[in-house]
Amino acid sequence: MADNKEIKEVIDLNSANNGASVYISNEQAQSTPYLSGEFDVTDALSPALPGQAEARALLTGMPFPGNKDEAWRKTSLRELPLAQLSLASNTRVDLGNAPEGVVFLPVAEALRSPHGKLLKEKLNRLVPADTDKFTALAAGYAQNGFVLYVPPNTRVPHDLTAAVRIRENGTIQNSRILVVVDRGADVTLHLDLLGAGGDQPALHASIVEVFVEDNARLHLVETQQLGRGTWHFSHEKAAVGANALLDWVYFAFGSRLSKSFLSVALTGKGSEAHLDGLSITNGGQHLDLDTQQDHLAPHTISNLNFKAALLGKSRSVWQGMIYVDPAAVQTDGYQTSRNLLLDDRAHADAIPGLEIKTDDVRCSHGATISHVDEEMIFYLKSRGLDDHTARELIVNGFFEEIVGKVRDEAVQESLRAHISRKLAQEN
Amino acid sequence: MAQLEINNLHVSIEGSEIIKGLSLVMRTGEIHAIMGPNGTGKSTLAYTLMGHPNYEVTAGSVTLDGEDVLAMEPNERALAGLFLAFQYPSAVPGVSIANFLRTAINSKRRALDPDDKGIALLDFRRLLIDNMNRLKVSQDFAGRYLNDGFSGGEKKRVEVLQMLTLQPRFAILDEPDSGLDIDAIKIVADGVNLMRGENFGGLIITHYQRILNYVTPDFVHVMLGGRIVASGGAELALDLEENGYEGFEERWAQKAR
């Protein structure tokens, strides 16, 4: 069935001259760490979670990522103010109400619940502590986080909400999140990462592990609105079981610099994952998103659609990979990255990738980087809209496809308002 | 009565002159048609009047009730009462027609009064639905993304819908009939006829006479080589329909004698 393999490359650079690049590289060379030194963790409490002590032992002496590490080539850590940061005594996490029978608790409490044994087995399974220096930090020193466990065949009637609040006060605040949607269960979770409006630096390292078991459904809406002094590092991975569905929508607005790894493993036959996201950056923000779609079972579908709008001198990086295992026949895997440059000083990188080990698949990837279409601006101005309003309408339109993936209309409205506010900021 | 006056207009694009001394006076209450073959500068005129940045006016003037139109940004021209129905309007994905038109109406209201709260949602809905009904446009168009995936006919109808909704003083319609079948042309013509009145002036730019069977112009101008070479009534359009643009100038010169 060799004819069945469709690989389409759409790399459109016609309107992007400087400030844009799209390429594929597999170069591996000797890497020089961006930073040397260790996190100041002198105020740490004793380890309380499984794997914490081991992760702490790993962390010491583990090098920071470097300039030749494939995942980190576009994101330098040289300006990370390591010496100004020390471990905070806590991280604030606010959890909304959950119905009876659903576990929605801070990690330590959840592990003591009747489902504790199962949850302990899941913890540390998808994101090993030794992945990099930041996973070791999060696994070893997460002050807080939460577990959501939805028992089999339970449909949670209202959306659940969780907020991780990171204070910009010169501290390291880590969180870890475990979501298990058991067989046949169905839930929507809104996960907000929020800032506190402080003017000092902060560091947030985070691990998010998500299990969508056979026949289960999860709608995960993640909104990153961290403060402008925050350095955000997250490793987020979901495993999707047979005939299960993951609808993951990801919004990135905040942080000084962020590096997020978003990964989906389609582990069961007939599983499906949709990953839609947007980012809007301004000033000197640098947002780096690394995505991975692993097809490990037959008849699986993954579809990634990310959009970025860049203002000011901001930078965005997207690096994506679709991997299709030899066992994953009859697979559809798609990835698209669209980047809209609203300022000549902004810079976007889009680096798609495919690794396909079987023939009977349909996969495609596409990446575009472009400036706002001046004909579109003229058309809207000819109807009386001023320049700013025209651009705002175009950017909101550009993002509408992603915003529309959120099922709650009130959340859609607040996202639109957030996009407009960000566009109204000077740069 | 308002007056749009174009005087000895010269326009270049990328250094080459397209419009070479064009003069025309339009008043509200009048419908003018400009006819001409392809490449004669008709669309250049339309874009120039609306202020497209790629068109350079090298000489001449355009005034609206004495105000210098050429000094205005495109949005200021719109607020002054000019409208262009585009031959090839841009698609704006993700922006619904309703959202777009409401934004346009509110832009105008806020230009007049910075404290304006914008048109009430119910009033706007009523206005849009009325206009869609008048143009036989299905109501689900309100939620469709502006020109995104529209057929040629749908785009033209939505241009006219915008004109009806925004109520300009002067509208330039750039080949509103091109690529349309006769039913679609009638709908576009109906839209112009609905606007017709003492507070509206229309300039229909067209290659063919067909649409003028449904909108009778008060004045017809023939444009050749970047100039208006003849002005008259509907009989001019009929002459062109019968005999074509080939040899028009000679025919016209003989008639004039």
Q: Measuring CA to CA, which residue among A224, A209, A55, A222 is closest to residue A132?
A: A55
Write out the H or E segment, with its range, that includes residue A291: strand A286-295
For residue B108, list chain A residues with Cβ-Cβ distance below 8 A: 384
pLDDT digits (tens, 9 = 90+) for B219-235: 999 999 999 999 999 88
Within 8 A by CB and 6+ apart from B111, the residues are A384, B79
> What's the rounded mean pLDDT across residues A206-222?
98
Average pLDDT over all residues of chain A: 92
When pLDDT is cut at 50, 70 and 90, the band that residue A29 belongs to is: low
For residue A380, list chain B residues with Cβ-Cβ distance below 8 A: 92, 100
CA angle A130, A133, A139 (to 5 degrees): 60
pLDDT of residue B238: 87
Which residue numbers in chain B have pLDDT < 50? none
In-domain check, residue A391: no
pLDDT digits (tens, 9 = 90+) for A303-313: 999 999 999 99
Q: Are B237 and B210 in contact (CB under 8 A)?
A: no
When pLDDT is cut at 50, 70 and 90, the band that residue A12 belongs to is: very low
Out of B52, B94, B104, whose CB is closest to A384?
B104
Tokens coding A258: 């962020």
Q: Measuring CA to CA, which residue among A164, A225, A215, A153 is closest to residue A189?
A: A164
In-domain check, residue A417: no
Average pLDDT over all residues of chain B: 94
Out of B79, B86, B93, whose CB is closest to A379?
B86
Q: Measuring CA to CA, which residue among A232, A103, A95, A244 is closest to residue A173?
A: A232
Query: Chain B within 8 Å of A370 (Cβ-Cβ)?
Result: no
Could you give all domains of chain B from N- to C-terminal order, each with its CATH number? 3-91+154-256 (3.40.50.300)
Question: Going along A126-170, which residue ranges are E strands?
Answer: 144-150, 160-166
pLDDT of residue B203: 98
Dihedral angle computed from the Cα positions of residues A384, A388, A394 and A400, in that order, rounded to the nearest 10 degrees: -120
Looking at the 3D structure of chain A, how many domains does it have?
1
When pLDDT is cut at 50, 70 and 90, the band that residue A427 belongs to is: low
pLDDT digits (tens, 9 = 90+) for A360-410: 899 999 999 999 999 999 999 999 999 999 999 999 999 999 999 999 999
In-domain check, residue A147: yes
For residue A390, list chain B residues with Cβ-Cβ distance below 8 A: 75
Beta bridge partners of A289: A260, A318
In-domain check, residue A402: no
Choose, out of B73, B88, B103, B146, the residue to mutate when testing the contact with A (most A CBs < 10 Å). Answer: B103
What part of A 397-416 touches B (C-beta under 8 Å)? 397-401
Amino acid present at A309: A
Q: Nearest CA to CA, how far is A305 from chain B (Å)?
A: 15
With 70 as the cut, is the pLDDT of residue A41 above it?
yes
pLDDT digits (tens, 9 = 90+) for A273-306: 999 999 999 999 999 999 999 999 999 999 999 9
pLDDT digits (tens, 9 = 90+) for A120-172: 999 999 999 999 999 999 999 999 999 999 999 999 999 999 999 999 999 99
pLDDT digits (tens, 9 = 90+) for B157-193: 999 999 999 999 999 999 999 889 898 899 999 999 9
In-domain check, residue A409: no
For residue A394, list chain B residues with Cβ-Cβ distance below 8 A: 92, 95
In-domain check, residue A377: no
Tokens coding B187: 């709908």
Range of the domain at A253: 2-372
pLDDT digits (tens, 9 = 90+) for A166-186: 999 999 999 999 999 999 999
Beta bridge partners of B24: B6
pLDDT of residue B159: 97
In-domain check, residue A388: no
Concatenating the DSSP letter of every residue in A300-340 gives -EEEEEEEEEE-TT-EEEEEEEEEE-TT--SEEEEEEEEEE
With 50 as the cut, is the pLDDT of residue A6 above it?
no
In-domain check, residue A125: yes
